A = this chain, B = another copy of it.
């Protein structure tokens, strides 16, 4: 069985991007690479919708989160995190590993953190920097990033956001949303293999980096050094040249379609998958479902792990299970990037339906396809 990834990153990589990866990379201190980088820089600003600067690190998304913490948090910096899943929790873990003690606003996993609670917590506990999550991958939940950030901005608090599974998926406009620092990864909406972290730095973040303010310990992941060379392509250490070439191609694909159409397309595919899965007898885990990944609870008597295994065995569809406390409880269907379309929504929904029936969860063949078709009629999307 040929595999097809329906995982929440890495995702299926379009052929155009694989071809870019197979190209002989130029030397990173050559004019060819500097031109590539200089050409990419303003387009990354457009992608993040920031007038600041986007830094590209050879690291996974977590490396970017780590860099964002040490760049803006030092001794005495007050921090607050919003946690409603594994990746919200990661902010706290990183902060604690550097000896900080953030105030954590928690919401039940599967729910979104109410913006009002961030405002309340900031009034009660104060903070200099807040750490937020846009699309929480572990629970397939979209947080109201703009409203969350507004609570912090209103109080003059710096906003750092994990947009790893929302960039190129959900509407995100860094400056307009009031996000000072936005961390993304390559293997999600950007459709690349893992290995790059992108950090969008708004004007206020850049000013803060330039100032003599406190910061944490960093050498390789030093955002200030990386930022100083972000526009010239003279990265402080050797960049992952092949992945940068592939990033250039990925951004081109997004530009060709237009970012708003990219967002719309993700909404169409995600809506169809949600409709199809529910028609197959599954329930949505999240109260605020993201368009990056869909988390399903199986019907009574069926185990999430069985569903995941069924799709892998029968169709080669690779879904993800739950993480941490959700291990064994949910099945997650990823649908980030332009490799996913109407056909995928239909095929994965039909496979989910077949799994539920085969595993004794009941149902009737054809309902999922019908629901997918109805959803696509309302929100169309190409294959």
Taking Cβ atoms with an 8 Å cutoff, the residues of A that contact B are 3, 5, 7, 9-10, 12-13, 18-19, 21-30, 32, 58-63, 65-67, 69, 93-94, 97-99, 185, 187, 193-195, 216-222, 237-243, 318, 320
- A10–B27 touching, CB < 8 Å: yes
A60-B58, A99-B217, A218-B97 as given contacts; A240 in contact with B27, CB under 8 Å: no
Closest CB in chain B relative to A169 CB, distance in Å: 17
Residues from chain B with a CB closer than 8 A to the CB of A10 are: 25, 27-28, 238, 241
- B66–A219 touching, CB < 8 Å: yes
- B9–A219 touching, CB < 8 Å: no
Give the docked Cα–Cα distance between A97 and B22 (Å).
37
Q: Which residue of B is nearest A66, CB measured?
A: B220
Residues from chain B with a CB closer than 8 A to the CB of A3 are: 26, 30, 32
Choose from B30, B67, B220 the contact partner of A318 (Cβ within 8 Å): B30
Q: Which residue of B is nearest A323, CB measured?
A: B29
- A240–B194 touching, CB < 8 Å: yes
Residues from chain B with a CB closer than 8 A to the CB of A60 are: 58, 220, 237-240
Residues from chain B with a CB closer than 8 A to the CB of A221 are: 63, 66, 220-221
Q: Which residue of B is nearest A70, CB measured?
A: B217
Closest CB in chain B relative to A243 CB, distance in Å: 6
Give the docked Cα–Cα distance between A187 and B32 (Å).
18
Q: Is the interface of A mostly helix, strand, loop or mixed?
A: loop
Give the docked Cα–Cα distance between A66 and B218 (Å).
9
30 A-B pairs in the complex with CB atoms less than 8 angstroms apart: A3-B26, A5-B27, A10-B25, A10-B28, A10-B238, A10-B241, A13-B25, A28-B194, A29-B320, A58-B58, A58-B63, A58-B194, A59-B59, A60-B239, A61-B237, A61-B238, A62-B219, A62-B237, A62-B238, A65-B220, A66-B220, A97-B217, A98-B217, A187-B238, A193-B241, A193-B242, A194-B238, A194-B239, A195-B240, A220-B221
Residues from chain B with a CB closer than 8 A to the CB of A222 are: 97
Residues from chain B with a CB closer than 8 A to the CB of A62 are: 219-220, 237-238
Choose from B13, B29, B67, B219 the contact partner of A93 (Cβ within 8 Å): B219
Give the docked Cα–Cα distance between A219 and B61 (Å).
12
Residues from chain B with a CB closer than 8 A to the CB of A69 are: 219
Residues from chain B with a CB closer than 8 A to the CB of A67 are: 220
Residues from chain B with a CB closer than 8 A to the CB of A97 are: 217-219, 222
Give the docked Cα–Cα distance between A66 and B194 (Å).
21
Residues from chain B with a CB closer than 8 A to the CB of A241 are: 10, 193-194
Q: Which residue of B is nearest A12, CB measured?
A: B24
Q: Which residue of B is nearest A67, CB measured?
A: B220
Which 9 A-B pairs give the minimum distances between C-beta atoms?
A: A22-B22, A195-B240, A193-B242, A66-B220, A63-B220, A62-B237, A194-B238, A60-B238, A97-B219
Residues from chain B with a CB closer than 8 A to the CB of A195 are: 58, 195, 240, 242-243
Give the docked Cα–Cα distance between A95 and B240 (Å).
24
A24-B18, A97-B217, A195-B58 as given contacts; A63 in contact with B318, CB under 8 Å: no
Choose from B21, B30, B220, B238 the contact partner of A9 (Cβ within 8 Å): B238
Residues from chain B with a CB closer than 8 A to the CB of A28 are: 10, 194
* Most interface-central of A194, A222, A243 (chain B CB within 10 A): A194
Q: Which residue of B is nearest A95, CB measured?
A: B219
Give the docked Cα–Cα distance between A243 and B220 (Å).
19
- List 9 additional A-B contacts (Cβ < 8 Å) besides A194-B238, A195-B242: A18-B23, A58-B63, A60-B237, A62-B237, A63-B220, A66-B219, A66-B220, A97-B222, A240-B243
